[in-house]
Amino acid sequence: MLLWTVVVLGSHTGMAYSAPKTVLVLGDSLSAEYGLVRGTGWVALLAQRLHEKKYDVDVINASISGETTSGGASRIADLLKKHRPDMVIVELGGNDGLRGLSLDAAQQNFRAIISTCQRAHASVLLVGMQIPPNYGRRYTDKFTAMYPALAREMHVALVPFLLEGVADKPELLQADQIHLTAAAHPRLLDNVWPFFSPLLTGK
- Say how far residue 181 (Cα) sits from the centre of its chain: 17
Residues 140-194: tens digit of each pLDDT: 999 999 999 999 999 999 999 999 999 999 999 999 988 999 999 999 999 999 9
Four-CA torsion 201, 80, 131, 37, nearest 10 degrees:
80
Would you place residue 201 in the very low, low, confident or very high pLDDT band (cuts 50, 70, 90)? Answer: confident
pTM above 0.95, yes or no: no
DSSP 143-191: HHHHHHHHHHHHT-EEES-TTTTTTT-GGGB-TTSSSBPGGGHHHHHHH
Residues 180-198: tens digit of each pLDDT: 999 999 999 999 999 999 9
Determine whether 179 is an active site residue. yes
Query: Catalytic: which of 58, 70, 179, 185?
Result: 179
What is residue 2's predicted lDDT score, i.e. its pLDDT? 44
CA-based nearest residue to 50, from 108, 6, 84, 88: 6
Domain 4-201 - what CATH class? alpha beta
Determine whether 29 is an active site residue. yes
Extract the runs of DSSP E, i.e. beta strands, from 56-153.
Answer: 57-61, 87-91, 123-127
Would you place residue 117 in the very low, low, confident or very high pLDDT band (cuts 50, 70, 90)? Answer: very high
Extract the runs of DSSP E, i.e. beta strands, from 34-144.
Answer: 57-61, 87-91, 123-127
Query: Catalytic: which of 28, 29, 86, 185?
Result: 29
Residues 38-88: tens digit of each pLDDT: 999 999 999 999 999 999 999 999 999 999 999 999 999 999 999 999 999
